[in-house]
Structure 1
Amino acid sequence: MRYRLTFLFLVLSCAAMAQFPAKGLQLRWEVVENGYQGKAQTLSTFTLVNRTKQAFPAGGWTIYFNFIRFVTPGEVAPGIVAGHVNGDLFRFTPSAGFGGLKPGDSVKLNIVSSAWVTHFTDAPTGPYIVWDTDPAKGQSIADFAVVPSSSDKQLRRTASETKVQTSPEDVYRRNEALRLLPASELPKILPTPASVVESGATVVLDPKEGIMYEPEFRAEADYLALLMGNVFGKPVLTAQGTTGKAAVRLMKDASIKGKEAYRLETDQQGVRIFAGTSTGIFYGIQSLRQLLPLTAKGTATLPAVLVKDEPRFAFRSFSLDVARNFHSKAQVLRMLDVMSVYKVNTLHLHMSDDEGWRVEIAGLPELTQVGGRRGHTLDEMECIQPSYGSGPDVNNATGTGWYSRADYIEILRYANARHIKVVPEVEMPGHGRAAIKAMDARSAKLTKAGDPNANEYRLSDPEDKSQYRSVQEWKDNVMNPALPSTYKFIEKVTAELAAMHREAGVPLDIIHMGGDETPGGVWEKSPACQKLLAESAELNNVDDLWIYFYDKVAQIVNKQGMQLYGWEEAGMRRTKRDGQGLMIVNPVFGNRNFQVDVWNNVMGGGMEDLSYRLANGGYKVVLSGVANYYFDMAYARDYDEPGFYWGGYVDIDKPFYFIPLDLYKNAKEDDAGNPLPASTFVGKDRLTEYGASNIVGIQSALWSETVKSPQRVEYMVLPKLLGMAERAWAPDPSWTQDLGQYNEAWNKFANVVGQREIPRLATLNGGYNYRIPTAGVKNDNGKVLTNVQLPGLIVRYTTDGKEPSAKSPAWSGPIDAKGTLRFRVFDQTGRGGRTVTVQY
């Protein structure tokens, strides 16, 4: 009888599971306390509510969610246990102690997670439920919300921390040195040219006179014709030749040697752009663009100038992560357009990572069909697991997506027309999980079909029992360096990428091969690796496999005529000192034209001098420091600002005040936004003359863990990109020798951005979603003062508690400090930023 009752209970439970609607569940999450128990950890709570008229079952279900903080496994409520799946995917499962939820009942799930949660983008995302009756299918819990944090204990990082958020008063103090300048006093061209001479005269440009060009500059002439057509609202004709009447002439000058150098002359004879190359002509056009009005009727009046220009650094890059969350081809093209305006000449396309593979590779369809799709899965044979809230359905906009071969070739050609080089990145050996799982799926499929070459491109050793956890909590994301199939995969992928570049007419001469964040513990229990170590006289331990791996990668890349490029760790090696592990510059690749991005300059983190150590050691270094150029870092220490902040807060001033060859000199704050002590850089390596010759450029980067829409891409990048473009192109400014001049230079730059470049971005391609800064607000003896980071933008306010609109009063002087006051900054088109509220 007991067995019959048990069977009946199981039948009834299964029926309840099958009938219970996921849309009847409500889930809320909120921070309880950062610095919980005096440690670097957070206590937070999920509240699960049954909003249906039927009981939520006691068992037979699992709730999954993504969270960028590691959740301590264990019981989180009576009978409910939290566990880690992999990466940022966690789950709640019921045990015998859970009795289910009656209609209207709720249960609180108290979790402890690592570090802290101080911005809304830190919160868990993408919860979904899976029933045991249908374990291959997940259902999103659509009624999910994050309760905003507001109290100090929710917003601080640790219990002892006194600075909680950036206040309106903090913003006001930062803006105090800024003042509105007359438009006539502003520099005419951004980024700043090497030399500009103004005569004081003006020039009338009549588009009816058209554009004349030398034969090799036809494409640039067509580009300029479209640009001028947008300004004047009518077609502009072009004609080959250099004599005769023309509004603009594009002319060859062999005496101008630099590939990107040009000379721009505007005088009574018209406008002439001279260069030795089409690239120089293109950059001359971009400078002319900045002299033109945004719109004009009939003719336009320009200042008479003589500009002689070329960039300080040849490598001026923007890196876009399309792997963590996918960004469409259309969005990439929009970013290429804005890059070209500001003379940023390289798009580093981070196309693969643990969470996605985003470019079609002929002959390896699984890379995109498995590695390019995310969704709930039992075995990752058809897709990889959800990450960053992509949810259970593979048809999602952020986790699933890739560029077809035709798409990628179109991106290459579009970039080339704007004189931008696309550098693809194949992340390895760490951050390789999407590729690893795709090749595992390929191997399983072909093995089942009896194919003897099923393991031809396999990246993992199935007998590897090594235990590790990456920074992003992955347990199986590192390619195996002992497998010949790993190198066959690399050869195949690089060859196919090179073929697409050739078809696009832009041969691939440099390729990024990753090297980032490979965790300790990898390969230690891999039979394949142990066999390789035993058979090699040169390899002594698993740390030596790093050099072995990148030497093989370098040979593959160099054989195809490409320069090897990687993250800083690719130029480092693990060793020990006094029994403690540490990373040192690897001398093996220093003389092999190996280029590295150096990202680790977290201020106060101890590695501020790494870029200089690598450059002094012979590596070609791209300054890509998180503290100044990671645009996924939040603009400010503010719960409502999206983005990460582990490397500090990055506003437009951070890329602007960076001094490439002496980064210590003007570094101002640590990763928490606190002033840097003078002792921070004591004992740090300085750049030698030889090292300075190896600094080849500057790169900004947008990592996409928290970036899930085109609007968020543009918000995080703009206007920060303008600060990076200025520092990468412009000559070393005089204020780097006398920091007393900095405030004046910053004021001019902020005015240029606020008065001229924000309006340009508002009209370019229908308008970009650049960030409009928040207002600074100060109570000065009972009177309220306000200011703005970008002079030219308008602060509007209300005193009745309502949201300020474009029709609200513009602040023009002190107002009485009483009641609830709300301030909001607007651009010249009437688009507003985020409102700040003060109570007096």
Structure 2
Amino acid sequence: MKTLTGLAGLTMAGFMLLSCSTEVKEANYQVIPLPQEISVMDQATPFILSNGTKIMYPEGNEKMQKNAEFLASYIKDLTGKTLAVQAGTDGKGIILQLGGNAENPEGYQLKVTGDQVVVSGPTEAGVFYGIQTLRKSIPAAQGVDIALPAVEINDYPRFSYRGAMLDVSRHFFPVDSVKRFIDMLALHNINRFHWHLSEDQGWRIEIKSRPELTEIGSKRTETVIGHNSGKYDGKPYGGFFTQEEAKEIVAYAADRHITVIPEIDMPGHMQAALAAYPYLGCTGGPYEVWKQWGISDDVLCAGNDETLKFIDDVLGEIIQIFPSEYIHVGGDECPKVRWAKCPKCQARIKALGIKADKNHSAEEKLQSFIISHAEKFLNDHGRQIIGWDEILEGGLAPNATVMSWRGEGGGIEAAKQKHDVIMSPNTYLYFDYYQSKDVEQEPEAIGGYLPLERVYSYEPMPASLTPEEQKYIKGVQANLWTEYIPTFSQVEYMELPRMAALADIQWTNPEHKDYQDFLQRLVRMVKIYDVYQYNYAKHVFDVTARFEPNAETGTVDVTLSTVDNCPVYYTLDGTDPTTASQLYTEPVKIDTNCTFKAMAIRPTGNSRIVKEDIAFSKSTSKKITALQPVNKQYEFAGISTLVDGLKGNRNYKTGRWIAFYKNDLEAVIDFGQPAEFSKVTLTTNVEKGDWVFDARSISVAVSEDGENFKQVASEEYPAMTLDNPNQLYEHTLSFEPVQARYLKVLAKPEYSIPSWHGGKGNPAFLFVDEITVD
């Protein structure tokens, strides 16, 4: 790929002559997603985009006419110029035409000369993506002409399925908001809109044969405040889409070459439906539309023939509204506790001859019966199902496509079974997770930590699959669940700019991806966000601060950077930085307790302040060695995290914590020379619902030679109970003062989760943030 750095052989004076002294700004084809191949025509004359430019399309092709009208509207939005749209493909101007390599129907060629801009593709969709590249290359500037450098771009998407999911069930967003979301997808070359329409907390799509679904199931009496606090807002909440509104959205998306994939989640996440039709549940109710977040134990009764009729009725109307090949049937997070006690479900298990095996309970296999029923209905009507990776449990429906959300494991297993896969791992692509470690300055989120850089780092093709198995990875999707997202403005904030990173993952071949290059392209992309007044998150323009313990100097070294290399000022005394503070020029070496703050200063406004409390103890920035491995999923900066002087908050995914799983935390600190100490403190982070438990024991040993250790303190802790709160647990072991060069800390995790927990018998995670030695 050739990098476009400017217009070779043509000066700005030349621009002025070409445009009769009107100011000219230059287009830049380094857009998001990055095209596969950009070839600059050196020494060639650029095309000048002005008010007199025409956009032409093949006569009689309504889709191409729509493409032309989109391009004209985009140019109007960005530049204020009004371009004429007309049929025909001869003459000077912007020509939209069909043609080219049909191997990838969404590919396109963009060719710019002094007289013409030609966008061609084998399909109207391909031309549309060429239009998006042209649109994003044009600077947002009013009252100027635009110079389009002579170029040939040959481009195509890496994946045919490029998706984004919006949940409208926990919180409802009206038609105009959904259309705005679709516009965001089009800007990022995303071609699948996964629309989550049913949930325990609300049913959002009209089903005419089942009117109570919206009359009753779309309304909850009130909503829990925060993270299931037990307190409620006292405000009725509801909303749903009529079938006509849904069809309007389908058509709006189709004009932009986006397919809407509806999701009706089954057999779990159905309490809103049970509130409308209680006889479909195992207990018969009464049920209410759920007011809290989480997963209800009340699900569709798999032993009730009326449940099968209900599924047929609902899906029968869904396929009349949505023409998509795929219909999403959920299949995730379906508790089996009701089925285990339900006579009808147990009778169904017996009638089907279902037997438990070492991998699946009989009830898990019963779920496969429900999913297979839905699949047969859809297949009989020419459709295919997608389900979350739980549909693997109990045996996969024959033709199902798997959407892998619990990491990549489900996708890998499905690909090995020769099933198509959409990769959607929560560890990289759940946009309801926090974007910043400083959660106090963020709108409330479900938890987690998913910064832009981590999203961008995702590679969807698992190396553990063979090339033949990798062919089953059909696409990539990001998801936005809306428990804690009550407004569409917050939807935009959570999606953008992470959707830009998603776009590169979905479209651009990995050899062309580079995060620093992406950041430079993003600086230009957000100017388009500004034109449409998207409420995007601006973390990328904050100061990036890296805190690294330096065992050679005994300091914590702080490295600061910004995406645009603007001036950064910092303080060490807790005061807010100003231009009178210390200007950052090189890494800052810190060797004592301080409150570090840094801020980028720009003419357009200052960044948010980065703040960290650095607390020194005798172990800070000393050499540390792990004798047992850190869990790879939560390794972050590795074992040195335990001596970096930084404490973590309640969010264990910020990188301030590291995890141990299926083995102990066993680490040795080398003080370099004998030192005296009498106290060791270790803090753990407990989130029992995520299988994150406290330590069961901690011991401290010392050594002169690093090989022969003598234990000086130990403590054991009882197994956690259901009543133990999720919080930080600080464990301090005090002992008579000793002198030694080496100190070993051994912390044992919970190796068998207690029986009261859903993960009973499994090992738990142990999260630790710092070893403090005094």
Report the TM-score when normalising by structure 2. 0.66
Q: CA deviation at 1:523?
A: 0.7
Residue number in structure 2 paired with 1:424: 262
The answer to whether the aligner puts 1:531 opposite 2:373 as a matched pair is: no
The one-letter code matched in structure 1 to 2:113 is D
Residue number in structure 1 paired with 2:409: 609
The one-letter code matched in structure 1 to 2:58 is E
Residue number in structure 2 paired with 1:689: 467
| Contact 1:464 1:525 (8 Å CA) reproduced | no
| SS of the residue 1:634 aligns to | coil
Q: CA deviation at 1:802?
A: 7.8
The answer to whether the aligner puts 1:593 opposite 2:440 as a matched pair is: no
Match for 1:412 among 234, 250, 265? 250
Q: CA deviation at 1:207?
A: 3.5
| Contact 1:632 1:643 (8 Å CA) reproduced | no
Q: CA deviation at 1:772?
A: 2.5
Q: CA deviation at 1:527?
A: 1.8
The answer to whether the aligner puts 1:699 opposite 2:466 as a matched pair is: no
Residue number in structure 1 paired with 2:492: 714
Alpha-carbon distance between aligned partners in 2 of 1:497 and 1:748, rounded to the nearest angstrom: 43
Match for 2:38 among 174, 185, 196? 196
The answer to whether the aligner puts 1:244 opposite 2:91 as a matched pair is: yes
Alpha-carbon distance between aligned partners in 2 of 1:785 and 1:815, rounded to the nearest angstrom: 5
Distance 1:834 1:183, change over 3 A: farther
Alpha-carbon distance between aligned partners in 2 of 1:497 and 1:726, rounded to the nearest angstrom: 32
| SS of the residue 2:194 aligns to | strand
Match for 1:224 among 60, 71, 74? 71
Distance 1:530 1:613, change over 3 A: closer
| SS of the residue 1:791 aligns to | coil
Residue number in structure 2 paired with 1:56: none
| SS of the residue 2:220 aligns to | coil
Residue number in structure 1 paired with 2:389: 568
Alpha-carbon distance between aligned partners in 2 of 1:690 and 1:748, rounded to the nearest angstrom: 31
| Contact 1:595 1:622 (8 Å CA) reproduced | yes
- Identical residues among aligned pairs (%): 28
| SS of the residue 1:414 aligns to | helix
Alpha-carbon distance between aligned partners in 2 of 1:795 and 1:694, rounded to the nearest angstrom: 47
Alpha-carbon distance between aligned partners in 2 of 1:477 and 1:793, rounded to the nearest angstrom: 55
Alpha-carbon distance between aligned partners in 2 of 1:413 and 1:387, rounded to the nearest angstrom: 37
Alpha-carbon distance between aligned partners in 1 of 2:599 and 2:251, rounded to the nearest angstrom: 41
| Contact 1:355 1:433 (8 Å CA) reproduced | yes
Distance 1:555 1:638, change over 3 A: same
Alpha-carbon distance between aligned partners in 2 of 1:695 and 1:813, rounded to the nearest angstrom: 46
Alpha-carbon distance between aligned partners in 1 of 2:304 and 2:423, rounded to the nearest angstrom: 33
Q: CA deviation at 1:411?
A: 2.0
For 1:369-391, what per-residue CA distance to the aligned partner results, in whole angstroms no more than 9, with x for missing partners? 32222225xxxxxx999996897
The one-letter code matched in structure 2 to 1:512 is H
Residue number in structure 1 paired with 2:317: 496
Q: CA deviation at 1:424?
A: 0.8
| SS of the residue 2:268 aligns to | coil
Q: CA deviation at 1:395?
A: 4.8
| Contact 2:40 2:150 (8 Å CA) reproduced | yes
Alpha-carbon distance between aligned partners in 1 of 2:515 and 2:296, rounded to the nearest angstrom: 46
For 1:381-419, what per-residue CA distance to the aligned partner results, in whole angstroms no more than 9, with x for missing partners? xx99999689756755xx422223333223222212221
| Contact 2:110 2:118 (8 Å CA) reproduced | yes
Residue number in structure 2 paired with 1:767: 534
The one-letter code matched in structure 2 to 1:233 is G
| SS of the residue 2:68 aligns to | helix
Distance 1:697 1:225, change over 3 A: same
The answer to whether the aligner puts 1:546 opposite 2:367 as a matched pair is: yes
Q: CA deviation at 1:508?
A: 2.7
Distance 1:834 1:706, change over 3 A: farther
The answer to whether the aligner puts 1:437 opposite 2:275 as a matched pair is: yes
The answer to whether the aligner puts 1:214 opposite 2:61 as a matched pair is: no
Alpha-carbon distance between aligned partners in 2 of 1:612 and 1:569, rounded to the nearest angstrom: 13
Match for 1:725 among 492, 495, 503? 503
Residue number in structure 2 paired with 1:150: none
| SS of the residue 1:222 aligns to | helix
For 1:78-108, what per-residue CA distance to the aligned partner results, in whole angstroms no more than 9, with x for missing partners? xxxxxxxxxxxxxxxxxxxxxxxxxxxxxxx
Alpha-carbon distance between aligned partners in 1 of 2:610 and 2:434, rounded to the nearest angstrom: 17
Structure 2 spans left out of the alignment, 5+ residues:
9-27, 357-361, 616-774
| Contact 1:230 1:295 (8 Å CA) reproduced | no
Match for 1:235 among 60, 64, 82? 82
Alpha-carbon distance between aligned partners in 2 of 1:298 and 1:746, rounded to the nearest angstrom: 31
| More RCO (CA 8 Å, sep 6+) | 1
| Contact 2:569 2:600 (8 Å CA) reproduced | yes
Alpha-carbon distance between aligned partners in 2 of 1:284 and 1:705, rounded to the nearest angstrom: 36
Residue number in structure 2 paired with 1:657: 457
Alpha-carbon distance between aligned partners in 2 of 1:184 and 1:798, rounded to the nearest angstrom: 43
Distance 1:182 1:308, change over 3 A: closer
Distance 1:391 1:500, change over 3 A: farther
Deviation above 6 Å: which 4+ runs of structure 1? 181-187, 383-387, 778-786, 796-805, 807-810, 814-821, 837-840
For 1:707-761, what per-residue CA distance to the aligned partner results, in whole angstroms no more than 9, with x for missing partners? 22223222222111111110110113167xxxxxxxxx221112221x2122222
Alpha-carbon distance between aligned partners in 1 of 2:179 and 2:294, rounded to the nearest angstrom: 33
Distance 1:791 1:426, change over 3 A: same
For 1:9-38, what per-residue CA distance to the aligned partner results, in whole angstroms no more than 9, with x for missing partners? xxxxxxxxxxxxxxxxxxxxxxxxxxxxxx
Residue number in structure 2 paired with 1:348: 194
The answer to whether the aligner puts 1:460 opposite 2:281 as a matched pair is: yes
The one-letter code matched in structure 2 to 1:284 is G
How many positions carry a matched residue from both structures? 569
Q: CA deviation at 1:210?
A: 1.4
Q: Map of 1:333-372 to 2, 5 A cutoff? A: 333-372=179-218
Q: CA deviation at 1:182?
A: 8.2
Report the TM-score when normalising by structure 1. 0.61
Structure 1 spans left out of the alignment, 5+ residues:
1-180, 377-382, 441-457, 502-506, 574-585, 602-607, 664-685, 736-744
Distance 1:437 1:639, change over 3 A: same
Distance 1:712 1:532, change over 3 A: same
For 1:263-297, what per-residue CA distance to the aligned partner results, in whole angstroms no more than 9, with x for missing partners? 10011122110012110111000010122111242
| Contact 2:490 2:535 (8 Å CA) reproduced | no
Q: CA deviation at 1:459?
A: 2.1
The one-letter code matched in structure 2 to 1:751 is Q
Alpha-carbon distance between aligned partners in 2 of 1:550 and 1:831, rounded to the nearest angstrom: 53
